[in-house]
A and B are shown apart, each in its own frame.
Chain A
Amino acid sequence: VGGGTAARAVEGGTAARAVGGGTAARAVEGGTAARAVGGGTAARPACARRGAGAARVRGPAFTLRRAGERGVLVDLAGNAPGWPEPTDAPAALAAAARAALGGVLEDAVAGHATVLLLFARPAPAAAALRPEVEGWLEGADEDARAAADAPALVIATTYDGPDLADVAAHAGLSPEEVVRRHQATTHRVAFLGFAPGFAYLVGGDELLRPARLDDPRPSVPAGSVGLAGSYCAVYPRASPGGWRLIGRTTLTAFDPDADPPTPFAPGLRVRFEAA
């Protein structure tokens, strides 16, 4: 991806076009030769990472949506109606794009089921970008496996949140069972947003999915552990907030003077345990 040409042909939002042809074709190509994707800028050719003969998993279909002159939104949600199940693909794709493109890319921002590729210059045409994205996605499940095997961040939590009883009642569980279930699953960072270091964690217990508060609190203390829908999060600093608070931690979720400023990054595994 040169990134130098006009932003023209990235597909707009109207035609939600799933990619079929490209990925299917590559499934036939198999793992024979390391193939330079899109002119060799991809950092990791899929086959070199996978090893010849490895079972090939067809990557998810995606749609490229233009987001202004410099932005391309890679939509991984597919056409299934309803709320898309979170996957590792956005985190892995964002990391691969950042590694492959370097300074050509200002940022790669994972969302729940998207990656925003924000270029430093006008975005390349869809035709040039599509094969690169396909290549990055081919490496995505390997990245996801590596992320799953990496040590999890363990967050020591004191479960005395003001909404713990409400969350328990909503789920039809005892507060103790809420705490047990919250610690029983490995969460992972889907994406960051809302505030610096505010990580949307997915992978929580399916019974722990409370609605947001009707009236958000004007100030939620830093370190609060909250639930909203299928997400869990640690508030990096005091801020208004409508999530149901079940506990608190002393973890520093954001420190602008630290490197990195937050322990969270998309794809990171997270477990909670009692402080």
Chain B
Amino acid sequence: VIEVLDPGPLTLVEDLGRPGLRHLGVPASGAADPASLRLANRLVGNPEGAAALESTLAGPALRFAVAATFALTGAPAEATLDDQPVSSDAPVHAAAGRVLRVGRASAGLRTYVAVRGGLAVAATLGSRSADVLSGLGPPPLRRGDVLPVGEAGGPAPGVDVAPVTPPGGGATLTVLPGPRDDWFAPSALATLAATTWSASSRSDRSGVRLDGPALDRSRDGELPSEGLVPGALQVPPSGRPVVMLRDHPVTGGYPVLAVVVERDLPAVGQLRPGDPVRFRVASRQVPE
């Protein structure tokens, strides 16, 4: 098991979520940066969807009650194992009793800690993901929590270090127009692409708000609620878009101008307040 000595500002258990239950009002949830979660799990020999820790801005302090193999991915943060520095993006062995301290992220927002065997907390609706909007899944980590670790099933990790470009410094996101681009002035997509937006501090796992100019609508009135997808740029009456993240509500009543492509969604989950965000509008023909 793992003891939580200090949870940090907000540390959650996440896996790849509970997709397929949106029609019951249940968001998919899951790791905000799923690419980093998958990498962390691969590094320790877990299935990619095993449950791990997702910290926000600064990491937790954890004591390994028994020997464990772990990996840090996502937002780079200084980390120590009993005062010895620990590298990111590589499997690390911890003897029983060692304490891992993950510091403040130097760039990006969310750091992942995967442990060989995966976190074996109870699942809700088939997933161990914490959904902060819906209140499903395990609550945020608290001091004194004890996290069970599962049996290691897969082969032992075979890599020393994974070459990755660490997140941070903002993002350029490719979007596909629609489904409601006809609710906006023709200039809206051009304004979207011409602006350097700023990730707002009023962002969370349900959506990243962007500060910038208003995107003008071509038709007024309320849109009857309709299904939302992750990465959707929902535009509330303020005209400033909100990018739907993993805990986003399954339906919404504000028109969606465009949707961020899947490969850029992990970068959305790493935006920290103040990060610059730019958009590239893909043609209607999807590349590849």
Contact B180 A196 (CB under 8 A): no
Contact A69 B286 (CB under 8 A): yes
Stretch at the interface among B36-44, B222-230, B267-275: B222-230
The main secondary structure of chain A at its interface with chain B is loop
Contact A112 B26 (CB under 8 A): no
Contact (A116, B286) CB under 8 Å given A65-B179, A67-B259, A193-B250: no
Chain B, 240-272, contact with A by CB distance < 8 Å: what is the 0/1 string?
A: 000000000111100010011110000000000
Contact A260 B229 (CB under 8 A): no
In the complex, which residues of chain B have a beta carbon less than 8 angstroms from the beta carbon of A110? 23, 227
Stretch at the interface among B14-22, B55-63, B98-106, B139-147: B14-22
What are 9 A-B contacts defined by CB distance under 8 Å?
A: A14-B177, A15-B182, A69-B286, A71-B227, A107-B20, A108-B23, A115-B227, A195-B25, A196-B27
Considering only CB atoms, which chain B residue lies closest to A198 in the complex? B25
Q: Interface residue count for B (Cβ, 8 Å)?
A: 45
In the complex, which residues of chain B have a beta carbon less than 8 angstroms from the beta carbon of A84? 224
Contact residues of B between 1 and 26, Cβ < 8 Å to A: 19-26
Partner of B285, one of A8, A73, A191, A200: A8
Query: How many A-B residue pairs lie within 8 Å, measured between CB atoms?
Result: 161
Considering only CB atoms, which chain B residue lies closest to A7 in the complex? B286
Considering only CB atoms, which chain A residue lies closest to B256 in the complex? A67
The answer to whether B176 has its CB under 8 Å from any CB of chain A is yes
The answer to whether A166 has its CB under 8 Å from any CB of chain B is no
In the complex, which residues of chain A have a beta carbon less than 8 angstroms from the beta carbon of B286? 6-8, 69, 122
Contact A192 B250 (CB under 8 A): yes
Partner of A111, one of B19, B20, B226, B261: B226
Partner of B226, one of A9, A73, A98, A118: A73
Say how far A112's CB is from chain B's closest CB, in angstroms: 3
In the complex, which residues of chain B have a beta carbon less than 8 angstroms from the beta carbon of A260? 24
Contact residues of A between 168 and 222, Cβ < 8 Å to B: 191-200
Q: In the complex, A119→B252 CA distance in Å?
A: 19
Say how far A12's CB is from chain B's closest CB, in angstroms: 4
Contact (A194, B25) CB under 8 Å given A13-B178, A68-B260, A261-B125: yes
In the complex, which residues of chain A have a beta carbon less than 8 angstroms from the beta carbon of B262? 68-70
In the complex, which residues of chain A have a beta carbon less than 8 angstroms from the beta carbon of B202? none
In the complex, which residues of chain A have a beta carbon less than 8 angstroms from the beta carbon of B284? 8-9, 12, 66
Contact residues of B between 215 and 244, Cβ < 8 Å to A: 222, 224-232
Say how far B3's CB is from chain A's closest CB, in angstroms: 27
In the complex, which residues of chain A have a beta carbon less than 8 angstroms from the beta carbon of B27? 196
Contact A68 B225 (CB under 8 A): no
In the complex, which residues of chain B have a beta carbon less than 8 angstroms from the beta carbon of A83? 222, 224
Contact B178 A107 (CB under 8 A): no
